[in-house]
A = this chain, B = another copy of it.
Amino acid sequence: MSKVLDELIDSIKCLPGVGPKSATRMAYYLLQRDPKGARRLANSILNSFELLGKCTSCNNFSETPTCNLCLDPKRNKKILCIIEMPTDLLMFEQTHSFDGMYYILMGRLSPLDGIGPKDLNMGGLYDRCKDEQIQEIIIATNFTKEGDATATYITELLKDLGKKLSRIARGMPSGSEIEYTDSGTLAQAISERKTINQKF
């Protein structure tokens, strides 16, 4: 085969979830069917590295020192939500039920992948949380082993700030049926059951 083509296929494999077969298909597709799109892709990758930095407030990717969301005067500055990835931010925003600020860890503690507290810039998180405006901090890492470990680490890190700390609720998903729920989730839903308010 052609070396240039091999290099293209190999470099496409760096995308998450793309194996050798998909990479080969994508390479031929770009070359044969969408040269314009391919050039655009190449240029926007290079552009991104040139133009994008991290927001000094929330740690998200941003073209400006502080991102639009952090500059938005309508956001509630008293409450800070700590999340793993920018994609989680999009999910939170889609719920339209949170109007506070965010801090994005850009990952989770994962010793097996060699990601420790230093890799996640936990110092930056601490500094952000010290901000006097912030009264409550919601930890919204994933409910995976790594997410749980990260939440525990953050709780330890921030406890001397004396601020209200919370974690988003774990339990049965909305619309779910007990019959089809996995036992781990159900066990959590039992142990974290909520007292029903009977004062009407």
Q: Which A residues are within 8 Å of any B CB, using their own CB?
A: 1-5, 7-8, 10-12, 14-17, 22, 24-32, 34-35, 37-49, 51-52, 61-63, 67-68, 85-87, 90, 106-107
Contacts and interface: CB of A to CB of B under 8 A. Distances in A.
Given A25-B16, A31-B61, A62-B2, A41 B42 contact: yes
20 contacts: A1-B68, A4-B44, A4-B47, A4-B52, A5-B48, A7-B48, A8-B45, A11-B41, A11-B43, A14-B38, A15-B15, A17-B26, A24-B90, A25-B87, A28-B85, A30-B45, A38-B49, A41-B42, A41-B45, A42-B42
B45 A49 contact: no
Interface centre among A37, A39, A43, A44 (most CB of B within 10 A): A44
A37 B14 contact: yes
A2 B67 contact: yes
Given A31-B48, A41-B45, A42-B46, A4 B85 contact: no
